[in-house]
Structure 1
Amino acid sequence: MALVGLSALLLFNQTYLSQIMSKLNTNPRTSPPPPSNASNVLPVAQNVSNGDLSNSSQTSNLSTGNPANSLGKVFNKVQGSVVQITSKVSTGFQLNGEAVQQSRLGSGFVYDTQGHIVTNYHVVSGSETVDVTFIDGNTYTAKVVGSDKDSDLAVLLITDDFSGETLVPIPIADSSILNVGDQVIAIGNPFGLSDTLTTGVVSQIGRLLPEEQGGFSIPNTIQTDAAINPGNSGGPLLNINGEVIGINTAISSSTGTYSGVGFAIPSKSITRIIPSLLKSGTYSHPWLGISGANLTPDMEKNLGLPRNYKGVLVVDVAQGGPAEKAKIQPANVDQSGGTFGSTTRITGGEIITMLDGHSVKRMEDIIGYLEESKSVGDSVKLTIVKNDNLSSPFTLSIVLEKRPSSAPATVSQ
């Protein structure tokens, strides 16, 4: 099953599209793209390997209220603050002498009264122009003022005169107090159907979205069964109080459309990263420079570890990275069978069992902790055991560096 981004990709000739929209007398925001000139082609962002998505336990004090009476109130409260985003990039091709453009259709929401809009990086990356359309039908030109591929976040600034538009920012809640079962609401523009509300629950928290295209995975995402589809990318996931608790970004699906498994970037990432994007246009992620493997029963047997031993086996370190400088030793892994399993032979190496005193059970624990709690230049204390000397743990203090723009081969954090 593939993990796909939620921006709808459209290829169109501008003149032809204008003629069709004129004949149909429709507004691109209030109706889906005409099937005669547009197709929903979904970019496959990542693949979920064996459905292996992590989770962690968190608690919540959110009040759910009365769902039947609250949903309409939430929609009325925020509908003017959710926008449709249309970004266009040149394909380099021509049709009848005119340039053919690729258009990404997504969503976003008002961040402040100065005209800043928050959305997904994959909705606007590489765009030549970006249009932002409000529920009243008014469309404004915007520019990308900050973006971060690794978190899939971007900030736009409306450059047109929007003095006639009342911008009402949506409050941002703390996603760390979410609990499985909390009711959530997604508002966006699936398939170009503007201002669509769907609802569901938090299915799980602390999921890791893997990235297999030269980037880094996104930790601590929110899994939900609220219906989200192409065009929902960048739109808000809200709690019952109408506060942002996430940004819809991907679905796990074999068809590219809703299958009951969607993912949102947590609001805690928004509050941590967006201010930096506004200030400098970029965000620097802390980097340890390792790749680790979660221990399995086969690996425990191979290494002679006790059953259900907790920790992460270091299998690679980035050359010149913080971990290598601290002399962390990766294991020697013979994966002639293709993947970790009963035929894998492992010798040497070190196992990380704690991070700043916090227990480490999976690689996701390391990635999530560093992303949420650490910055470039911070020190982190690792508790490590050698797999052939479990009775003698030792600690290393490592200074985190700025993550490179792309992931070195096999290195995940």
Structure 2
Amino acid sequence: MKKVTPSVVNIAVKGRIAQEQNPLLNDPFFRKFFNVPETPAEREIRAAGSGVIIDAREGLIVTNNHVVEHADEISVTLTDGRHFQAKRVGADPDTDVAIIKVPAADLVAIPLGDSDKLEVGDYVVAIGNPFGIGQTVTQGIVSALRRTGLGIKGYEDFIQTDAPINPGNSGGALVSLRGELVGINTAIVGPSGGNVGIGFAIPANMIREVMDQLVRYGEVRRGRLGIAVQDLTAELSDAMGLPSHQSGAVVANVEAGSAAERAGLKSGDVITSVDNTPVRSASALRNKIGLLRVGDTAELAVTRGGKSMVIRATVATPVQKQFQGGQVNPLLDGATFGPVTGDTSIRGVEVISVQAGRKAARAGLRKGDIITSVNQKAVAGPDEFAEQAKASPKRLLLALIRDGHAHFLVVQ
């Protein structure tokens, strides 16, 4: 461990975030009538986390996006006591990975391991800065692999471990006994927010692919195939005449004019592997495609009508069709809408941004909301949403999904 602990750093951040307020407090008449004092629209935050040096020559450090997301200042402290101000190189909220850089010499980087070689029961070590008390090392085993569907982030393929991970460990290292980085600690499940032996780490292979794009472009330039998929269940396997042990993802829908349609994919196809990597679920397929770059060609092993075939599809640039809410309905002023960027199995429109103090914010809309219907009429995308929103200028009843939960919101 002496060789790898110098690679793990402490990160302290300072920043400001918007402060949620009751919409009535934005009404000048209400404030004046009830003599409500002025309250700041933002509040200062301070937080601590961890990071891992992955390129000593360039001073590159990988951490969680949620550690530095709202940071105006990022301070890095090395194990030898040196302090540096870091700058953000790039971040990807969908995988919760961020890269920062420090102007330091004599750094020690940790080698990246192959997380695909991990097996349940392997011993691992978690290194980080729990509760901001300083660098701490804990040991455990790999409890499970390829954990998905937790609703933590858009792209999930987590390593689960019982190595104690507490607040402040976010962005720290999950290390194999060979001294290789196999994951970045990112989340815990616990009733009180503390460790109960269920922690999750982003696998090193996902970090490697995301990191390459963050360093080159400052962002992940994801492409898309244009398909909606679902898990291949035992019931579906039986109905399709497939072996009960068959795993894969079923193509439920192919978008017209999409890369998938051009490649020849059809509804009902079962995708069993991508570039010779087995596909075990719809989430696994989405993770694999989501890490390909625009222009990459994916080799898909497909079962159709009981016959196996290989289809090559070139990942295309996502269609961006964003618009300002105020252009279609004054009630939506201050919000920007666009296609759903996360779970492509959800049909609707996504709230891309909301400006504080504007009508949309006062009505309760938030960034990341996915609106699935307007006035009880389902909307499949931006065009249908705009059409329905224009038709009701005085009041909108929106059905939306927020943080994985369904809500109704009245905007008037």
TM-score w.r.t. length of structure 2: 0.64
Do 1:87 and 1:124's aligned partners in 2 also have CA atoms closer than 8 Å? yes
1:410 partnered with 2:345:
yes
Q: What is the CA–CA distance in structure 1 between the aligned matches of 2:255 and 2:94, rounded to whole Å?
A: 18
Q: Which of residues 257, 276, 279 is equivalent to 2:216?
A: 279
Q: Please name the residue that 2:62 is paired with.
A: 118
Do 1:316 and 1:411's aligned partners in 2 also have CA atoms closer than 8 Å? no
Deviation (angstroms), 1:301: 5.7
Q: What is the CA–CA distance in structure 2 between the aligned matches of 1:290 and 1:103, rounded to whole Å?
A: 41
Deviation (angstroms), 1:239: 1.6
Q: What is the CA–CA distance in structure 2 between the aligned matches of 1:281 and 1:107, rounded to whole Å?
A: 20
1:36-185 equivalences under 5 Å are: 74=1, 76-92=2-18, 100-111=43-54, 112-158=56-102, 162=104, 166-185=106-125
**Paired AA for residue 83 in structure 2:** T
Do 1:224 and 1:263's aligned partners in 2 also have CA atoms closer than 8 Å? yes
Shift in CA distance, 409/363, structure 1 to aligned 2, threshold 3 Å: closer
Q: Which of residues 270, 274, 277 is equivalent to 1:351?
A: 270
TM-score w.r.t. length of structure 1: 0.64
1:257 partnered with 2:175:
no
Deviation (angstroms), 1:398: 1.4
The number of residue pairs the alignment matches comes to: 309
Shift in CA distance, 187/291, structure 1 to aligned 2, threshold 3 Å: same
Deviation (angstroms), 1:173: 2.3
Q: Please name the residue that 1:217 is paired with.
A: 155
Q: Please name the residue that 1:288 is paired with.
A: 225
**Paired AA for residue 297 in structure 2:** S
- Secondary structure at the residue paired with 1:173? coil
Moved more, 273-282 or 244-253: 273-282
Shift in CA distance, 292/170, structure 1 to aligned 2, threshold 3 Å: same
Deviation (angstroms), 1:185: 0.7
Do 2:226 and 2:254's aligned partners in 1 also have CA atoms closer than 8 Å? yes
Q: What is the CA–CA distance in structure 2 between the aligned matches of 1:129 and 1:147, rounded to whole Å?
A: 15
Shift in CA distance, 206/99, structure 1 to aligned 2, threshold 3 Å: closer
Q: Please name the residue that 2:143 is paired with.
A: 203
Shift in CA distance, 84/320, structure 1 to aligned 2, threshold 3 Å: farther
Deviation (angstroms), 1:210: 4.6
Do 1:89 and 1:128's aligned partners in 2 also have CA atoms closer than 8 Å? yes
Aligned-pair RMSD on alpha carbons?
A: 3.4
Moved more, 231-240 or 104-113: 104-113
Do 1:318 and 1:408's aligned partners in 2 also have CA atoms closer than 8 Å? no
- Secondary structure at the residue paired with 1:128? strand
**Paired AA for residue 401 in structure 1:** A
Point out which structure has higher relative CO (alpha carbons under 8 A, 6+ apart): 1
- Secondary structure at the residue paired with 1:154? strand
1:267 partnered with 2:207:
no
Deviation (angstroms), 1:136: 4.2
Deviation (angstroms), 1:315: 2.3
**Paired AA for residue 341 in structure 2:** S
Moved more, 193-202 or 306-315: 306-315
Deviation (angstroms), 1:128: 1.4
Deviation (angstroms), 1:113: 3.5
Q: What is the CA–CA distance in structure 2 between the aligned matches of 1:327 and 1:376, rounded to whole Å?
A: 18
Q: What is the CA–CA distance in structure 1 between the aligned matches of 2:14 and 2:215, rounded to whole Å?
A: 22
Shift in CA distance, 403/264, structure 1 to aligned 2, threshold 3 Å: farther
Shift in CA distance, 327/253, structure 1 to aligned 2, threshold 3 Å: farther
- Structure 1, unpaired ranges of 5+: 1-73, 331-348
Deviation (angstroms), 1:188: 0.7
Shift in CA distance, 263/318, structure 1 to aligned 2, threshold 3 Å: farther
Do 2:149 and 2:283's aligned partners in 1 also have CA atoms closer than 8 Å? no
1:319-358 equivalences under 5 Å are: 320-326=257-263, 328-330=265-267, 349-356=268-275
Q: What is the CA–CA distance in structure 1 between the aligned matches of 2:284 and 2:42, rounded to whole Å?
A: 47
Residues 167-205 of structure 1: per-residue CA shift (max 9 Å, x gap): 222222222322222211111111112101111112233
